[in-house]
Amino acid sequence: MSDLTKLTLAGARDALKKKDITSAELTGAYIAEVESGAPLNAYVTVTAEKAMEMAKASDAKLAKGEGGALEGLPLGIKDLFCTKDVLTTASSHILDGFHPPYESTVTANLWRDGAVLLGKLNNDEFAMGSSNETSYYGPVVNPWRRKGDDTKLVPGGSSGGSSAAVAAKLCLAATATDTGGSIRQPAAFTGTVGIKPTYGRCSRWGIVAFASSLDQAGPIARDVRDAAIMLRSMAGHDEKDTTSVDRPVPDYEAALGQGVKGLKVGIPKEYRVDGMPAEIDALWSRGIEWLKAAGAEIKEVSLPHTKYALPTYYIVAPAECSSNLARYDGVRYGLRVEGRDITDMYEKTRAAGFGAEVRRRVLMGTYVLSAGYYDAYYLKAQKVRTLIARDFATVFADVDVLLTPTAPSAAFAIGEKTDDPLSMYLNDVFTVPVNLAGLPGISVPAGLSSDGLPLGLQLIGRTFDEETLLKAAYAVEQAADFKAAPEAWWKA
């Protein structure tokens, strides 16, 4: 591994500004790492030539003392974000050959600030999955392994390519999306930091849609500071997205290090679920002690409708996905399988283009939206969603942030849960309530399992109060002092 790729995003930014290194040198080092990291299957498209062009343009700006907040910094982009003239597939066969004629707002913001595109990162097909095993391009492999065991592990999903690439140092940081935990759970599985901002904080325009009322873009990075830097560039109001909120973007990095003395931290009792591994519970207890020692006030709180969050999510999300994915029909772009007539062509294209998990969710969504079942399932789920959001609002009248585990286990083996959808869906038990309520949440690496795998703690904040969330996350990060890293077995 190049010494250059050991730099954090903040460290690389400062080194570029001091002219200690050039973006071309840094980008070249990352391109070499991406090539050697091929066994991880984190990238589905590598844009090496484009990256070097962008790096040289950044060096020209930096030489004049100019440049944006991310000038010359090489990033990976989840394949859900449309990138102009660069293959964008959502890791689905049905979008084969799609080169968008436009740029997503989030990636446009990154290029505006000078970032460099290394390539597009693998994800679960249309972001539907918790392990990055549903991708048309095959599963992503977690760079971490259990102690004394060569079994390949999942990196979490759906943003598994993003989390694996950041953990293996195949990019400085990456964009990701979170519909029910798809930023935070992969971060927990790979020892990285992932923040899902408040719904409406980052534009969804140009991001391939899964469930429009739940999807939100955010970064996966190596530490809390890097995540704060990335979020400031990604966030902002966008008139092209009617769910984008028009409010100023704070300097999130400036919030770090302010301390948490006097901060009220809620511990939701409903998150102590049956069968939770002892090591997850012990980590949670350590997190509570860390914050208490830093001067925070700890208070047990109740979110009584939490137990309904997972079934509510798996009604709302498939319902919205069945509507969003109706646009993929083989007529205008992507895969087309010819048929006897247009209906036959639709059916054959969708059957060939969508994987098993996507078909499962489309069928579930179509069912709950159908006549006779709409009131019984979808309408009821929306009412429960309102109650879940109300629980959080009540609790946040008395506390500043909540502390919970991120995931109910460490990373599991590839193939271990593919035939058990219910077990797979339970990976999101601690994360989906945040999406249903539109709140910000962050996962911070806080310890290792008995097998030597990363475990994460989740902090949940008030709407548009990412500053307090990041401040608390930074305190947890400092106390945890997580320095472990995966061995680069993929280079052997």
Residues with catalytic annotation?
A: 78, 158, 182
Nearest to 442 by CA among 409, 401, 478: 401
The bridge status of strand 264-268 relative to strand 297-301 is: parallel
The Cα 480–Cα 478 span in angstroms is 6
Nearest to 107 by CA among 2, 228, 246, 202: 202
State the CB neighbour count (10 A cutoff) for residue 194.
34
The bridge status of strand 193-196 relative to strand 441-448 is: antiparallel
- Adjacent-strand bridge partners of 441: 196, 460
- What are the two backbone dihedrals, phi and then psi, of residue 153, each rounded to the nearest 5 degrees? -110, 155
Task: Give the DSSP H/E element, type plus range, for residue 481.
Answer: none
Alpha helices, H only, 94-223:
105-112, 160-167, 184-190
With vertex at residue 190, the alpha carbon angle to CA 454 and CA 481, rounded to the nearest 5 degrees, is 50
SS3 (DSSP) at 406: coil
Local structure of residue 158 (DSSP, 8 states):
S
Strand order in the sheet with 43-46: 43-46, 116-121, 74-78, 174-178, 216-221, 193-196, 441-448, 454-461, 401-405, 264-268, 297-301
Torsion of CA 168, 474, 178, 34, to 10 degrees: -20
Contact 408/189 with Cβ under 8 angstroms?
A: no
Torsion of CA 441, 445, 449, 453, to 10 degrees: 110
**Could you tell me which residues come within 8 angstroms of residue 422 by beta carbon, excluding any fewer than 6 positions away?**
none
Find the length of the chain.
492
